């Protein structure tokens, strides 16, 4: 067996470079940028009005008061999409809409509520400052300014910004693809009639959901019997960035995943980790394809997925390799009574002071799905380690959002 740290080091050393693809902007939501984005033009692109009002010269209105309004001659209108073509001269004003281009000669916008039209004239009763309600060209950002960094997730605001600067195609990291193989002659689909010697398969739906929640694309999903040839054929037919097998990686006569992987040209990287649950985890590689052999016990499979597979998926779609973590205080004493580092499931809550607090899940068996349902994350304690009440510890959350 190798240590958790050794397993992580091997996994990180074998992460394939993520694939970069050009993607239309409308299809890029949820993807991660594969390169920095610099502004091809300034924002605003032109100096414009922030309010509905009148474009004027400050020199004509700077001494205005309610008792001594300035009377200006109205010479035209600047509308959004239809700018005024002339120049504002002394004693003149142009009606202007929000977002419309500021006409030449004008340097200030007077709001409608501070004016009153009188025929071809407009009376200005208040002017607060030079340049009021004017949005200047490039005040948000200039050409070539860095707008979005590589690795940024494209959500609604980022998509809007890209569209606003005329970018309709971006370089993003391609989705990570996964092929899922669930082994076990005793397994039947959840809705099928189950015999006394059979078990309803929970790993398939659990791992399908985990893959999808992780942002990967599930290309194929199959349930296979504990037969060496069937396992070899299934692995040979699987095509994806990650082949995810569950079951068939222990030391029994009917555990065929390791041999089947190697028969298909995969190079083993490690097998068996000094941890609980998930000791028999297997990792192999063939070219850019990574194969995981997860344990068959549902909790073991989920914990190995969360700690090893999920960060790999993140790395392949442009995220840093890692986990969502926090520090929390133990409400009670938690003890690791086994001889291996133990991933103990815990509940996470907040006290009135907004401190994160944890309590141990009641059930910790690797076959007990309630230990996952009744927990929000896990801690890793060394053999014989005791976490005392009030002691702070690093907590790994299941929540990857």
Every domain of the chain and the residues it spans = 4-18+175-316, 21-39+148-173, 48-135, 325-397
Confirm or reject CATH 3.40.50.720 for domain 4-18+175-316, answering yes or no.
no
| Residue 225 to residues 76, 207, 264, Cα–Cα distance (Å) | 81, 18, 18
- Which residues does residue 354 pair with via DSSP β-bridges, in sequence order? none
CA 176 to CA 169: how far, in whole Å?
20
Pick the CATH number of 21-39+148-173 from 3.40.47.10, 3.90.105.10, 1.20.1740.10, 1.10.287.3510: 3.90.105.10
CA 309 to CA 193: how far, in whole Å?
32
- Which residues does residue 220 pair with via DSSP β-bridges, in sequence order? 179
Q: In the structure, what pLDDT confidence band is assigned to residue 401 with cuts at 50, 70 and 90?
A: very low
CA 58 to CA 371: how far, in whole Å?
71
Highest CATH level, class, for 48-135 = mainly beta
Q: In the structure, what pLDDT confidence band is assigned to residue 80 with cuts at 50, 70 and 90?
A: very high
Q: Which two tokens stand for residue 190?
A: 């959840």
The 10s digit of each residue's pLDDT in 90-117 is: 999 999 999 999 999 999 999 999 999 9
Q: Is the pLDDT of residue 188 over 90?
A: no
| Residue 223 to residues 147, 178, 245, Cα–Cα distance (Å) | 46, 15, 10
pLDDT at 400: 56
pLDDT at 218: 97
Q: Which two tokens stand for residue 162?
A: 């890209």
Into which CATH architecture does domain 325-397 fall? Beta Barrel (2.40)
The 10s digit of each residue's pLDDT in 377-391 is: 999 999 999 999 999
Please give the angle made by the CA atoms of 265, 270 and 276, to the nearest 5 degrees.
Answer: 135
pTM value? 0.85
- Which residues does residue 107 pair with via DSSP β-bridges, in sequence order? none
The reply to whether 4-18+175-316 and 48-135 are identical in fold is no
CA 389 to CA 329: how far, in whole Å?
7
What's the 3-state SS for 125-170? CCCCCCCCCEECCCCCECCCCEEECCCCECCHHHHHHHHHCCCCEE
- What is the separation, in whole angstroms, between the first and last Cα of the chain? 33
Instruction: Tell me what the mean pLDDT of segment 26-34 comes to.
Output: 96
Of the two residues 292 and 350, the one the predictor is more confident about is 292
Q: Is the pLDDT of residue 176 over 60?
A: yes
CA 385 to CA 340: how far, in whole Å?
10
- Which residues does residue 49 pair with via DSSP β-bridges, in sequence order? 134
CA 364 to CA 9: how far, in whole Å?
27
The 10s digit of each residue's pLDDT in 242-297 is: 999 999 898 878 789 999 999 999 999 999 999 999 999 999 999 999 999 999 99
């Amino acid at each position: 067996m190798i240590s958790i740290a050794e397993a992580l080091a091997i996994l990180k050393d074998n992460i394939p470079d993520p694939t970069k693809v050009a993607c239309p902007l409308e299809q890029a939501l949820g993807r991660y940028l594969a390169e920095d984005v610099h502004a091809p033009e300034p924002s605003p692109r032109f100096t414009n009005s922030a309010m509905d009002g009148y474009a004027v010269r400050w020199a004509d209105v700077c001494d205005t008061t309610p008792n001594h309004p300035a009377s200006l001659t109205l010479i035209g209108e600047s509308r959004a999409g239809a700018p005024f073509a002339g120049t504002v001269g002394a004693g003149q004003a142009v009606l202007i809409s929000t977002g419309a281009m500021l006409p030449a000669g004008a340097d200030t916008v007077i709001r409608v509520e501070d004016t009153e039209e009188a025929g071809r004239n407009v009376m200005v009763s208040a002017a607060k400052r030079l340049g009021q309600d004017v949005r200047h060209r490039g005040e948000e950002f200039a050409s070539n300014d860095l707008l979005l960094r590589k690795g940024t997730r494209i959500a609604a605001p980022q998509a809007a910004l890209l569209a606003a600067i005329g970018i309709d195609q971006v370089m993003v990291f391609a989705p990570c693809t996964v092929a899922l193989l669930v082994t076990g002659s005793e397994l039947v689909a959840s809705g099928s009639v189950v015999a006394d010697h059979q078990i309803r398969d929970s790993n398939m739906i659990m791992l399908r959901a985990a893959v999808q929640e992780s942002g990967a694309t599930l290309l194929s999903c199959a349930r296979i019997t504990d037969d060496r040839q069937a396992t070899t054929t299934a692995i040979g037919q699987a095509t994806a960035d990650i082949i995810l097998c569950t079951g068939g990686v222990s030391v029994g006569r009917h555990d065929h995943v390791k041999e089947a992987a190697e028969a298909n040209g995969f190079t083993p990287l490690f097998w068996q980790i000094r941890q609980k649950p998930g000791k028999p985890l297997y990792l192999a590689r063939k070219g850019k394809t990574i194969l995981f052999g997860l344990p068959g016990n549902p909790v073991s499979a989920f914990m190995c997925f969360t700690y090893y597979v999920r960060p790999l998926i993140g790395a392949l779609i442009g995220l840093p390799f890692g986990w969502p973590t926090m520090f929390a205080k133990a409400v009670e004493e938690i003890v690791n009574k086994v001889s291996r580092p133990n991933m103990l499931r815990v509940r996470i809550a907040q006290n009135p002071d907004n401190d994160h607090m944890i309590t141990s899940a009641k059930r910790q068996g690797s076959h007990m799905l309630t230990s996952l349902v009744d927990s929000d994350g896990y801690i890793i304690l060394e053999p014989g380690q005791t976490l005392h009440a009030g002691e702070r510890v690093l907590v790994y959350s299941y929540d990857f959002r």
